[in-house]
Amino acid sequence: MRTLASSTPPAWADRVAGSLDELLVDHAHCEKKAAGTALRLLFSYPGVEFLQAPLAALAREELAHFEEVLAVLRERGVRMRPLRPAPYAGRLRARVRNGEPGRRVDLLLCCALIEARSCERFGILTAALRGVDTELAGFYAGLLASEARHHRDYVDLALAGFDEHEVWTRLEETAQHEAAVLAELREPRMHG
User: Applying CB under 5 A, does 120 fall inside the site for Fe ion?
Assistant: no
Confirm or reject binding of residue 147 to Fe ion (CB under 5 A).
yes
Stretches 39-47, 85-93, 143-151, 163-171: which one binds Fe ion (CB under 5 A)?
143-151
Angle between helices 134-159 and 102-129 (to 10 degrees): 160
Asked if 27 touches Fe ion (CB under 5 A), the answer is no
Is 32 one of the binding residues for Fe ion (CB under 5 A)? Answer: no
> In this structure, are residues 46 and 26 in contact, taking their beta carbons and an 8 Å threshold?
no
Residue among 147 and 187 whose Cβ is closer to Fe ion: 147
User: 170: helix, coil or strand?
Assistant: helix
Which residues between 59 and 78 bind Fe ion (CB under 5 A)?
62, 65
Contact between 104 and Fe ion by CB under 5 A: the answer reads no
- For Fe ion, which is the closer residue by CB, 150 or 189? 150
Smallest gap from Cβ 105 to Fe ion, in A, equals 19
* Site size with Fe ion, rule: CB under 5 A: 7
Contact stretch for Fe ion (CB under 5 A) within 42-50, 128-136, 140-148, 176-184: 140-148
Residue 150 engages Fe ion in binding (rule: CB under 5 A): yes
- Rounded distance, CA 148 to CA 145, Å? 5
What is the distance between the alpha carbons of residues 140 and 124, in angstroms, rounded to a whole number? 9
Asked if 26 is part of the footprint of Fe ion (rule: CB under 5 A), the reply reads: no
Contact between 121 and Fe ion per CB under 5 A: no
Distance of CA 90 to the CA centre of its chain: 13
Q: How far is the CB of 65 from Fe ion (least distance, A)?
A: 4
Question: For 69-76, which contacts have Cβ atoms below 8 Å and span 24 or more sequence positions?
Answer: 69/24, 69/27, 69/28, 69/31, 70/28, 72/24, 72/136, 72/139, 73/24, 73/25, 73/28, 76/21, 76/24
Please name the residues in contact with 35: beta carbons below 8 A apart, sequence gap of 6 or more: 58, 59, 60, 62, 63, 66
The residues of the shown chain that bind Fe ion, judged by CB under 5 A, are 31, 34, 62, 65, 115, 147, 150
